[in-house]
Amino acid sequence: MIDIRLLESDQILLNQYKEGLRNRKYDGKLVDEILALNAARKKLTQEFDEMRAEQNKASQSIAMLKKKGEDATQDLSKMKELSEKVKAVETELSLAEESVKQKALHLPNFLHESVPIGASEDENVIVRSFMDPKSFSFRTRDHVELGESLGVLDTARATKVTGARFSILTGLGARLERALTQFMLDVHTKEHDYIETVPPYLVNDVSLVGTSQLPKFREDLFAIEGTNYFLVPTAEVPVTNYYRDEILEEAQLPICYTAFTPCFRSEAGSYGRDTKGLIRQHQFHKVELVKFTHPDRSYEEHEKLVKNAEEILKRLELPFQVALLCSGDISFGAAKCYDLNVWLPGQSAYREISSCSNFEDFQARRAQIRFRPNGPKAKPRFVHTLNGSGLAVGRTWVAILENYQREDGSVEIPKALIPYMGGVTELRPQGPKKEDKS
């Protein structure tokens, strides 16, 4: 959430924010509307305070008249009229405060000064790459063709069971997903010092406001009818809200969590895109990384988080690029974001497998997550929150099948995963089942 008071008090900052909005492709008129509403709210607040003071003064006068045994009928009549006016102004003030609050929830974050200006993903900046894509001497298959021929992926029956954009993994395909999850969690907890947590898979609406999915992105969520619960779109929501409305101690920072959860997204607005396979599903698995940091060190921690996610791809020996997102492609709440894009031979393209964002105090202000700085009489400050995928498990599964495929349709298991696969070194096409002659 943006601090409206800062925009009101600093014209230079206001101009910079409006420029950032234009670069994000947002209409700056909303800021002007909110500032006008807030000015009206402050005027109502002043009027309310003056009327309350007048009301208190009148009460004292009536009390004095009664004490002296004098007639206070006329004063009581005026007091009743004043009380009705105070009640009306109080109602109007409450509505004005709620209007400012709700509209402010639609304002995106400030952009960090290092974010490149650009209109779309085509203007993202590639900051580094790992490995050159492998050159195949045969026609490469995509993960759907490979998965179905191997007998480890079934989208047709998943559609029958539930609907479009769902899948079923079987046999060694399911084992590979489980192996990837365990591998990622082991690296992040044993080597990168993240604390593993298993959060709820349902969250309330307050939590989604805290991490900025609500109210702006409600259509992307799956709501539980008749409740204020939603299926988690990402573990970022329950893990970040773990410290909602709390004050941490400076010595605790940074606090780093990792969590493996299913994620549920309606994929509103993505119709016609990636309808085939596992790239864009309503349900998928992800290992999430979340950090609560000191504001002075959040960008240092941001770089570390990106490297933590990169390490998984490096150990799996998958070609990838790290892209710094431009202003026209960055998410609503992020001040700065890197995408990790893995090479998929089946699409002859790099596709996102992790987004690593620094939200600065945007989420912390919404969720009221603060820390108490060291030193006498130091006032609590908002933490900075960071998160990123470490990684999206399904897309990593896709990347392995496509990058490790062989001409005969088999798929090699990356060396780092063999211990997690119980020694299995490859996936091979399954022939027809032998007839049972018993």
Residue 41 annotated as catalytic: no
Q: 254 and 292 in contact (C-beta within 8 Å)? A: yes
Active-site annotation holder among 280, 372, 381, 406? 280
| CA angle at 320 for the pair 319 and 323, rounded to the nearest 5° | 165
Choose among 396, 387, 394: nearest CA to 337. 387
CA 92 to chain centroid, in Å, comes to: 34
Residues facing residue 264 across a β-bridge: 283
Q: State phi, psi for 161 to the nearest 5 degrees.
A: -70, -40
Q: Are 207 and 233 in contact (CB under 8 A)?
A: no
- Helices 29-68 and 73-104, packing angle to 10 deg: 160
* 181/288 Cα distance (integer angstroms): 11
Residue among 167, 298, 355, 357 flagged as catalytic: 355
The yes-or-no answer on residue 389 being catalytic is no
**Terminal alpha carbon distance of the chain:** 69
Q: Which amino acid is at 333?
A: G
Is 331 a residue of the active site?
no
Phi, psi of 393 (to 5 degrees): -70, -45
Query: Residues in the chain, how many?
Result: 438
Name the catalytic one among 165, 167, 395, 402: 395
Catalytic, 236? Answer no
Q: Judge whether 287 and 389 are in contact, CB under 8 Å.
A: yes
Catalytic residue among 24, 141, 175, 265: 265
**Cα separation, 146 vs 410, whole angstroms:** 8
- The DSSP code sequence of 106-160 is TPPPPPPTTSPP-SSGGG-EEEEEESPPPPPSSPPPPHHHHHHHHT-EESHHHHH
Q: Coil, strand, or helix at residue 407?
A: coil
CA distance 338 to 234: 17
Tokens representing 109 are 């974050």
Active site residue: 148, 352, 406, 428, which one? 352
* Contact predicate 117/327, CB 8 Å: yes
Annotation marks residue 145 as catalytic: no
Collapsing DSSP to helix, strand or coil, 265 comes out as coil
Catalytic residues: 265, 280, 352, 355, 395
